[in-house]
Structure 1
């Protein structure tokens, strides 16, 4: 698997933008601030830099692990003591960077939980090299999290990334699992999740993150709307709120697309026993003797 110099350059630039967008969002996370304002802080930063979000900024609070992004009328605000996972993705011409961090609002009661996912990520990145199996990476992540007295989330994983494809090929587990060998040139998003709960997430209600599916027999405005989504979001996940740029009636059109099966929307994932969750993530490119993180200084 070989990446040419232009692809590597774009992966790195996307990584720099994604990292800065994440920092902007972290700085905006304060008691009383709206989830929506923080998500838009990150997304707008990415657009302002001439790139595009690879997915809507996820704002996952406390026991929520993934797939929550605010709707345009979401009035939720951060409260003192909240554990907030911010997951930000960016792409340049389809070359994707994905990174995440956890912040605690106004208190410092859960520093060890936050450190558990951070330390697990560092250990995982240091272990990645051509030939290592996913099971070994997962074992390293699990051990680091358990050493702090927490559980890894066993049914959330990191993932391989390809051009215009956020999740593909190889999964990077947070527990010892899988025999896939890592190869030079792979682009991987490594994302340990730690919890004081059971260590599994379950699906809740559908959230506000959508993704195009295969086009079916559409016509009229339904076809026009499908094509607009395709042109603007490149078959990557998108937020319903982004569709307001299409104009009035987008909410009903989106509902129709879902009914036709031409879009799917992701369910919000939460810890099975309502445990608190922390997350940390970087995107890496596998080199001949290790890996390089595109989203880290």
Structure 2
């Protein structure tokens, strides 16, 4: 990983630059499709590539909503909006999220998530237990009178791999793992109101997919789309709207890749009791002598 630190840091700088313009992009009544496209295009304009489709989570939607082709959904009045996006440079990922809140009564959710993130990051160094970070996050969140989402976690990352096997809890837990030198981690507290269930469940089918079978499909048209997705995204998540204009019969070809199990879809994740959620997220690179917050 050491030889890739420069790429991780560069990806983080781009993500940080995009973070600064997100609040100008997200507007009440604004098109969610335009938000997704503006964020993804900003990433490219700064010299990176999206590590996954821009996620826009409105109110009780926690994760994995990105606009489908011709999405007509807009940001409702008085809503709370999570914008989660990633940048990669040669597969080295920066994952970050901000919450844009239009409901003053929910400001405490945003503050709780942001403070929990900061306190967690301050405590990270080689050898610190993942469970210690979960305890810090939950204790901070509950001091604000709200509740963490217990089944959403931070995660380790590798090249071209957003979820690399390690989960960083957002609640007290028995997790014997420890932060390791040369590790890359996304830390992401999610908060909700005290009377919420505090857990996410699968919602509607999403528009985020990932290649899971790297063997070529049999059909020639499917093979062409497979090659295009593999060359642009490899094993990173993607959305059909990135490729729809490359084929006249795109829908049929795409369905054939689903049928042959070359690609996996991610469902939208929603809070079980329909309550609003806030999120804050940064990426950290842990070395022997330092912890780099790449996305700040």
User: TM (normalized to structure 1)?
Assistant: 0.95
Distance 1:147 1:94 in 2: 38
Q: Quick one: distance in 2 between partners of 1:19 and 1:88? A: 11
- Who is 2:202 aligned against? 203
Stretches of structure 2 that go unaligned for 5 or more consecutive residues are none
- Contact 1:90/1:96 (CA < 8 Å) preserved in 2? yes
Task: Report the secondary structure of 2:2's partner residue.
Answer: coil
Q: Please say if 1:260 is aligned against 2:257.
A: no
Cα RMSD (Å) of the superposition?
Answer: 1.3
1:86 aligns with 2:83: yes
Deviations 1:164-187, CA, capped at 9 Å, x for gaps: 111103111101221101111111
Q: Which residue of 2 aligns with 1:11?
A: 8
Q: Are 1:218 and 2:218 an aligned pair?
A: yes
Kept in 2: contact 1:126–1:290 (CA 8 A): no
- SS of equivalent residue, structure 1 residue 31: coil
Aligned length: 292
Distance across 2 between alignment mates of 1:61 and 1:248:
32
CA distance in 2 between counterparts of 1:100 and 1:34 reads: 19
**Distance of 1:217 and 1:19 partners within structure 2:** 38
Q: Is the 8 A contact 2:54 2:85 kept in 1?
A: yes
Tell me if 1:287 matches 2:287. yes
Contact 2:86/2:96, CA 8 A, preserved across alignment: yes
In structure 1, what is the equivalent of residue 250 of structure 2?
250
Residue 160 of structure 2 is matched in structure 1 by 164
What CA distance in whole angstroms lies between the structure 1 residues aligned with 2:189 and 2:119?
Answer: 10
Distance 2:118 2:238 in 1: 29
The TM-score normalised by the length of structure 2 is 0.95
Check the 8 A contact 1:56/1:88 in 2, yes or no.
yes
Q: Is the 8 A contact 1:70 1:208 kept in 2?
A: yes
Partners of 2:71 and 2:221 in 1: how far apart? 27
Gapped runs of 5+ residues in structure 1?
A: none
More off after superposition, 39-48 vs 60-69: 39-48
Deviation at 1:216, TM superposition (A): 6.0
Judging by fraction of residues, say which structure has more strand: 1
Deviations 1:96-132 (A, max 9, x none): 0000010113x42211011111010001001111111
Q: Quick one: which of 111, 115, 140 aligns to 2:111?
A: 115
Q: How does 1:55-66 map to 2 (within 5 A)?
A: 55-66=52-63
CA distance in 1, matches of 2:80, 2:116: 18
Once residues 269 and 77 of structure 1 are traced to their aligned partners in structure 2, the CA distance between those partners, rounded to angstroms, is 18
Q: For residue 164 of structure 2, give the secondary structure of its aligned residue in structure 1.
A: strand
Q: Helix, strand or coil for the counterpart of 1:176?
A: coil
**Are 2:188 and 2:279, in contact at CA under 8 Å, matched by a contact in 1?**
yes
Secondary structure of residue in 2 paired with 1:73:
coil
Q: Is the 8 A contact 1:69 1:208 kept in 2?
A: yes
User: Which position in structure 2 is the counterpart of 1:52?
Assistant: 49
Runs of 4+ aligned structure 1 residues displaced above 4 Å come to: none
